[in-house]
Amino acid sequence: MRVVGVDSGRMDDSNDHRYVSRRSLLRASAGAATITAVGTGQASAEGSVSPSWFDSRCPDATHEPSMGHCVDGGMEGCMDDHPATVELRAAVRDTLEEQYPDAGALVDAGYKPYFDTLDRDADGWSHWINPEYVGDESVVDPERPESVLVDNETWRSIGVMFIATENGEPIEPPAVYGETGSEDRCSPWHYHAGLPGRFAWWYYRQAYERDFEDGNVTLPCRTPCMLHVWTGDHPEGVYAHDGPPREYRDQEPADDPGFETGAKPGTDTLDWDSLPSDLVPEQRPDELAALVPGL
């Protein structure tokens, strides 16, 4: 299945690396003397934030990682051997093998590192997001996946994550197959309401889309709807929320990092420290999270 639109060109996918800074975020919100990015907290004289992460705006919010289904019963009709699933998975696999096989290829294609550093339970895989694809009108396009999922040990791509956005704004996700109300409908989209997922999406928007320049520093109650498609074997299926267990990721390490680094695939973990400085935002997620007491 492919739902394709025309690139709106709204998002800035330049390579000038004008990333978000701690000072910029504080200055952007200084007029109201609050940083609503972390709730309704007051900015202190030292530049920290006293947050109210969980208020009436966000009844589903949790401190620990959590998610919910965007479509009630959307997983019930999903089958790995359904022709639509087989076709989508094969198309995703072809795209990863031909265009985005590893972290180096993702860098060349404009993907940005998006390590979920607040999710301490992450099992050795990371998201890489392409602002151009988040910002266009295509949805579930195997040739333009908004995010590619990478194994941090081998540095190789292991799946994709489609994000239901249009011109960067969340939209109702389309079903992979089946009609509304039908028993065989498959719409396995999920959202994150836990603090790690909400913060990670907020970080992406600030670091790579520079939302703070427009005064938009509000932490979302939920992420947009997201859909994983894993290309290798997975005990929980093609659309599983969590990544495949380590024993299911038996790829050989990437032959070459694809960028200048002292780290080596298969020997060193792919993380912020293994990337060249021009790929690392001025402030990493943990550094911005340090503004929030208790995280």
Indicate the helix (H) or strand (E) that contains 203: helix 195-208
Tell me, yes or no, whether 2 lies in a domain: no
In the chain, at which residue ranges do the beta strands (DSSP E only) sit?
34-35, 41-43, 49-50, 67-69, 112-114, 125-129, 147-151, 157-163, 165-166, 169-170, 190-192, 226-230
Residue 30 pLDDT grade (very low, low, confident, very high; cuts 50, 70, 90): very low
pLDDT score of 18 more than 50: no
Tell me, yes or no, whether 294 lies in a domain: no
Residue 48 pLDDT grade (very low, low, confident, very high; cuts 50, 70, 90): very low
| Among 187, 169, 167, CA closest to 1 | 187
What local confidence, expressed as pLDDT, does residue 56 receive?
74
Residue 160 belongs to what domain range? 22-289
Rg (CA), the chain: 19
Tell me, yes or no, whether 8 lies in a domain: no
Residue 114 pLDDT grade (very low, low, confident, very high; cuts 50, 70, 90): confident
Tell me, yes or no, whether 83 lies in a domain: yes
* Structure confidence by residue, pLDDT tens digits, 259-282: 999 999 999 999 999 999 989 988
Please tell me which residue, 198 or 224, carries the higher pLDDT value. 224
Please tell me which residue, 250 or 163, carries the higher pLDDT value. 163
Please tell me which residue, 198 or 102, carries the higher pLDDT value. 102
Q: Give me the mean pLDDT over the 14-31 stretch.
A: 44
What local confidence, expressed as pLDDT, does residue 146 receive?
97
Q: How far apart are CA 197 and CA 171, in angstroms?
A: 18
Domain count, the chain: 1
Residue 79 pLDDT grade (very low, low, confident, very high; cuts 50, 70, 90): very high
Tell me, yes or no, whether 114 lies in a domain: yes
Tell me, yes or no, whether 39 lies in a domain: yes
What local confidence, expressed as pLDDT, does residue 26 receive?
45
Tell me, yes or no, whether 15 lies in a domain: no
Tell me, yes or no, whether 9 lies in a domain: no
